[in-house]
């Protein structure tokens, strides 16, 4: 005897057939994307969200998110919402050309702080970075902090300059 399901029946307007979803699921190499496709395929076959959650060992709420993404924009939206779905290695705000421009500007010494770099990027391209995000960007672009060297209070600048020009000549 089959268990009686509680709640409203799940209604989804599928753009793909069950066979197409299965083919997508089986062809996917990325584990996270494959899990999502597997879940959608099982739902299209008539499994409940609870059953899919248990079969795939993911939280029930996660399966609800997958369904919501699918309703929003079919498989394209589900794949877009997967971490790393649009671009391998993460989603960055700036394109390659903009990143090169940031690196060139940094090489001119235009900014004293990461906040100044963040402001320049926001003003130039309208892209807002968090504090952590701008540090991550600068690190990824290998833009290092410029820290002034310590100088002793007893340092004699005139003697240092003379030494740089050929050393100190003492009698």
CA–CA dist 97, 78 (Å, integer): 28
Residue 74 shares a structural domain with residue 114: no
Half-sphere exposure of 65 (CA within 13 A, CB side): 11
The pLDDT, as a whole number, for residue 89 is 46
Claim to verify: residue 69 and residue 42 sit in the same structural domain: yes
**Is the predicted pLDDT of residue 101 greater than 90, yes or no?**
yes
* Structural domain includes residue 152: no
Give the Cα separation of 47 and 35 in Å (integer): 15
Q: Is residue 10 part of a domain?
A: no
pLDDT digits (tens, 9 = 90+) for 120-129: 999 998 888 8
Cα separation values, 64 from 48, 61, 84, Å? 11, 5, 20
Give the orientation angle of helix 96-107 with respect to helix 131-140, to 10 degrees.
90
**pLDDT of 4:** 61
pLDDT digits 0-9 by tens, 128-144:
888 888 998 999 999 88
Task: Give the pLDDT of residue 90.
Answer: 46
Is residue 44 within 8 A of residue 18, CB to CB? The reply is yes
Identify whether residues 30 and 70 lie together within a single domain: yes
What's the start-to-end Cα distance of the chain, in Å?
Answer: 109
| pLDDT, tens only, 20-50 | 888 888 888 888 888 999 999 999 888 888 8
Radius of gyration of the chain from its Cα atoms, rounded to whole angstroms = 28
Higher confidence at residue 157 or residue 90?
A: 157
Number of domains composing the chain: 2
User: CA-to-CA distance for 11 and 71, rounded, in angstroms?
Assistant: 10
Domain presence at residue 167: no
Which span out of 9-23, 80-94, 109-123 was modeled with the highest average pLDDT?
109-123
Q: Do 22 and 66 share a structural domain?
A: yes
Residue 171 within any structural domain of the chain: no
> Is residue 26, in this structure, part of any structural domain at all?
yes
Three-state SS at 120: helix
161 found inside a domain:
no
Answer yes or no: do 124 and 76 share one domain: no
Residue 107 is assigned to a structural domain of this protein: yes
Token digits of residue 94? 């700036």
pLDDT of residue 121: 92
Inform me whether the pLDDT recorded for 5 exceeds 90. Answer: no
Statement to judge: residues 74 and 101 lie in one domain? no
Residues 112 and 70 in one domain: no
SS (H, E, C) 110-158: CCCCHHHHHHHHHHHHCCCCCHHHHHHHHHHCCCCCCCCCCCCCCCCHH
- Please compute the mean of the pLDDT values over residues 58-74 and round it to a whole number: 90
The answer, yes or no, to whether residue 87 has pLDDT greater than 50, is: no
Q: Which domain holds residue 124?
A: 96-140
Cβ-contact 53, 59 below 8 angstroms: yes
Quick one: pLDDT at residue 88? 46
Q: Is residue 150 part of a domain?
A: no
């Amino acid at each position: 005897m089959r268990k009686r399901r509680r709640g409203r029946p799940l209604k989804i307007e599928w753009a793909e057939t069950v066979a197409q979803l299965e083919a997508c699921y089986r062809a996917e190499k990325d584990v996270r994307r494959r899990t999502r496709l597997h879940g959608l395929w099982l739902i299209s076959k008539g499994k409940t969200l609870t059953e899919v959650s248990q079969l795939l060992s993911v939280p029930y709420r996660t399966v609800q998110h997958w369904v919501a993404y699918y309703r929003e924009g079919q498989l394209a939206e589900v794949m877009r919402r997967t971490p790393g779905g649009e671009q391998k290695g993460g989603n960055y705000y700036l394109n390659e050309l903009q990143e090169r421009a940031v690196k060139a500007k940094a090489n001119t010494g235009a900014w004293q702080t990461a906040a100044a770099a963040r402001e320049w990027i926001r003003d130039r391209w309208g892209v807002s970075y968090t504090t952590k995000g701008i540090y991550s960007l600068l690190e990824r672009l290998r833009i290092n902090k410029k820290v002034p060297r310590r100088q002793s209070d007893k340092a004699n600048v005139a003697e240092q300059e003379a030494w740089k020009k050929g050393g100190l000549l003492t009698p």
